[in-house]
Amino acid sequence: MARIVIALGGNALGNTPQEQEKKIAEAVPSLVDLISQGHEIILSHGNGPQVGYIEKKLNASADGESTAYFLPECTAMSQGYIGYHLQKGILEELHRRGMPWHVATVITQVEVDAADEAFSTPSKPIGNFYSKEQAHRLMAKDKHLVMKEDAGRGFRKYVASPLPLDIVEKDSILNLLDNEFIVIACGGGGIPVIKKSSQTYCGVEAVIDKDFASAKLAELVEADYFFILTAVDRVLLNYGTKDQTEIVEMNAQQGEKYMREGHFAPGSMLPKVKAALAFAKSKKGRKAVIASLEKAPLAMSGASGTVICD
Ligand SMILES: Nc1ncnc2c1ncn2[C@@H]1O[C@H](COP(=O)(O)OP(=O)(O)O)[C@@H](O)[C@H]1O
Ligand SMILES: NC(=O)OP(=O)(O)O
């Protein structure tokens, strides 16, 4: 039996509640198959698009307060929204199979360092995609807004993305696992907080990368495998060019070489590869897999995805 942390990409979950529910319904049977095979699964998820949509809606309704930022609360809402669909989809599948399991979503805070340099260099794309012209128009209207290209897919809002240091609700997560719950935690990278005193935290304006937070979660629960499910079947070399090729397997040395050569876009594939490598290197025998949500069942059996080992 293996313990597997599975991180679902926010961009792979679609753009509307209906799309999200459908994509989750399609992915859930292969997740529950893992439980049937005797494995333990712990889930996390991204929130890049969703946290941006939520923030935009909130600010639009904030009575003319154009600088009303609510990113920690928006991440908390995205944990509820995505956790709800995951929890519902998994419970329905378990029920269909007559399997007596419990599922719980933990609203998770993740501690970051107030002095993290990431606060001065926005690196996390969130929300909708815009054309270059639209992005420049929006930035001209709001001098605090930073919009940049995201992996050749269009322009998006960029926010600070500090590194995760610690999972505040770690005892609750471990307790639920000890009691055989399927746990969904660290959604959207966790709500970013800084420590004020031993038990007091304060939310900060940022979105943590869920790949790094999920790697922390995988460390916490001592996972054997770490699956990162996104929108592409495999990690690519020469991404976006006519020479692009799929990577079936890479070790730490190869991964680091490819990173130096600039094959992985910052804010999208780069954090996944970095988090996968950190996990694979953390203990002998640990493996990470980057694969698509659609081909999750094939990735589970090794027929799709990129395997990252030490
Ligand atoms: N080298 C690469 N190989 C594959 N995909 C890449 C690469 N570089 C950038 N990407 C982009 O990264 C995306 C995955 O990152 P992102 O959309 O942020 O993931 P998610 O929201 O699923 O966590 C892919 O869909 C692709 O558009
Ligand atoms: N928070 C986060 O990393 O979300 P995505 O995986 O959707 O980018």
Residue 293: CATH number of its domain? 3.40.1160.10
Does any domain span residue 140? no
Give pLDDT, residue 64.
56
Q: pTM higher than 0.80 for the full model? A: yes
CA of 189 to the centre of ligand 2 (A): 7
Element (H, E) at 105: strand 102-105
Does any domain span residue 147? no
Q: Looking at ligand 2, which atom is closest to the CA of residue 207? A: 1
Task: Compute the average pLDDT of residues 75-101.
Answer: 95
| Average pLDDT score over the chain | 93
The bridge status of strand 40-45 relative to strand 287-292 is: unpaired
Does any domain span residue 103? yes
CA of 178 to the centre of ligand 1 (A): 34
Residue list, ligand 1 pocket, CB within 6 Å: 9-12, 46, 48, 151, 153, 230-232, 235-236, 239, 263-265, 268-269
Does any domain span residue 183? yes
Q: Looking at ligand 2, which atom is closest to the CA of residue 49? A: 7
Residues annotated as catalytic are 10-11, 124, 210, 272
| Tokens standing for residue 69 | 């930022």
Does any domain span residue 155? no
Give pLDDT, residue 288.
96
Give pLDDT, residue 61.
65
Q: Looking at ligand 1, which atom is closest to the CA of residue 48? A: 21
- Per the structure, how many domains does the chain have? 1
What is the domain extent for residue 101?
2-112+168-309
Q: Classify residue 145 by its DSSP letter.
A: -
Does any domain span residue 93? yes
As for the ipTM of the complex, it is 0.97
CA of 99 to the centre of ligand 2 (A): 31
To test ligand 1's pocket by mutation, which of 6, 8, 11, 208 has the most ligand atoms within 8 angstroms of CB?
Answer: 11
pLDDT, tens digit (0-9, with 9 covering 90-100), for 186-211: 999 999 999 999 889 999 999 999 99
